[in-house]
Amino acid sequence: MSAHELTVRFGHVLALDAVSLQTPPGQITAVVGGDGAGKTTLLEALVDLVPIEAGSVDSPARSTIGFMPAGAGSWSELSVDENVAFVGGSYGLATDVLTTRADDLLTRAGLSDVRDRLAGQLSGGMRKKLGFCLAMLHEPQLLILDEPSTGLDPVSRVELWRLISEAAARGTAVVLTTTYLDEAERAGSVLVLERGRALLSGSPQDVVSSYPGVIVQTDSPTRPQFAWRHGTGYREWWPDDPPKGSTTTALTLEDVSIVASLRQEVGS
């Protein structure tokens, strides 16, 4: 699937400004950005949930897309098995195919012991994993996940990412949004959004290595507009050579996305 220069407007608010995105098969594409950057709007535009003002989406047929919204992602008053039965039935899966896939997915997701439990009574992590299983049930070619790991504890995040990576390894094109930059570093490519604009895109390595400047770790920043708290000290971005004698470290994806956003704010 590809999206070309998508523009979405809600009233006077420009939610997406000519954003493009490619999702190659077998690869995870992470859309990152702060709150209100336009991540969810981008995913919704991909699946036709918001009207597009300009640009185009070239998407596969609906029957080959799996979608997990940022919300519950499952029907809370249905049990795990009933959720599976409903979604499988909606996609027209044959009973035996559905049974095999559900057994496999729920086992890998660690949900096989709670199949009779209502979705609304699952823990946050289990609920997200159920949402993922439902989105994967019909073996989609394209998997769209809106903040799958938000609000999960570190262990649940690891488990969910294992499922996502397995899906990609089987050839599924995955596009997900996240606010965690360490997750984005594991993706095949990233798209950094800020206020509806694409700031950076490419593989995490390319994005980081092609970004200019270095990071100085310091306790007293000299360029406050390009410095931010990190641990007990500050990280400070220098586009060229930093002052002599300062401790420099390489840029990370997190640094790059913060600097890109700060630069847009400052307007440089």
Partner 1 sequence: MRSNLKSMRAMILKEFRELRRDHRTMGMLIGMPVLLLVVFGYAANFTVDNVPTATVGPQAEQVAQQVEVIAQAPFDVVEVDPGGNAATAEDLLQRDSVDVAIDTGQQPPVAYIDGSSLFTAQTSIAAFNRLGDQVTVEILFNPELKTSWVMVPAIIGLILTFIGTIITSIGMVKEKQTGTIEQLAVMPIKPSTVILGKILPYFLLATLDMVLVTVLGMVLFDVPFNGSVGVFAIGAGLFLFVVLGLGVFVSTISQNVGQAIQTAFFFLLPQILLSGFIFPLEAIPWGVRWISYFLPLTYFTMVSQGVMLRGAPLDALWFPLIMLAIMAVVIFTGAVLRFRRNLAPGDGRRSKPKVSA
Residue 3: which region, alpha, beta or left (left: phi > 0; alpha: psi -120 to 50)? beta
Structure tokens at 111: 């949900």
- φ/ψ of residue 160, rounded to 5: -65, -40
Is 214 a binding residue for partner 1 by CB under 8 A? The answer is: no
Query: Smallest distance from the beta carbon of 22 to partner 1, in angstroms?
Result: 12
Structure tokens at 176: 């997900």
Dist CA 78 CA 203 (whole Å): 40
Long-range contacts of 248-251 (CB under 8 A, 24+ apart): 248/214, 248/215, 248/216, 248/217, 249/214, 249/215, 249/216, 249/217, 250/208, 250/214, 250/215, 251/208, 251/211, 251/213, 251/214, 251/215
Query: Smallest distance from the beta carbon of 16 to partner 1, in angstroms?
Result: 12
Is 94 a binding residue for partner 1 by CB under 8 A? The answer is: no
Residue with the two structure tokens 């641990």: 231
Is 173 a binding residue for partner 1 by CB under 8 A? The answer is: yes
Which is nearer to partner 1, 147 or 254 (by Cβ)? 147
Which is nearer to partner 1, 71 or 154 (by Cβ)? 71
Query: Smallest distance from the beta carbon of 141 to partner 1, in angstroms?
Result: 5
Is 121 a binding residue for partner 1 by CB under 8 A? The answer is: no
Is 60 a binding residue for partner 1 by CB under 8 A? The answer is: yes
Say how many residues touch partner 1, by CB under 8 A.
37
Structure tokens at 71: 């919300």
Query: Smallest distance from the beta carbon of 194 to partner 1, in angstroms?
Result: 23
Query: Smallest distance from the beta carbon of 20 to partner 1, in angstroms?
Result: 14
Which parts of 12-31 interact with partner 1 (CB under 8 A)? Answer: 25
Q: Which residues bind partner 1 (CB under 8 A)?
A: 1, 25, 44-45, 47-52, 56-65, 67-76, 87, 90-91, 134, 141-142, 173
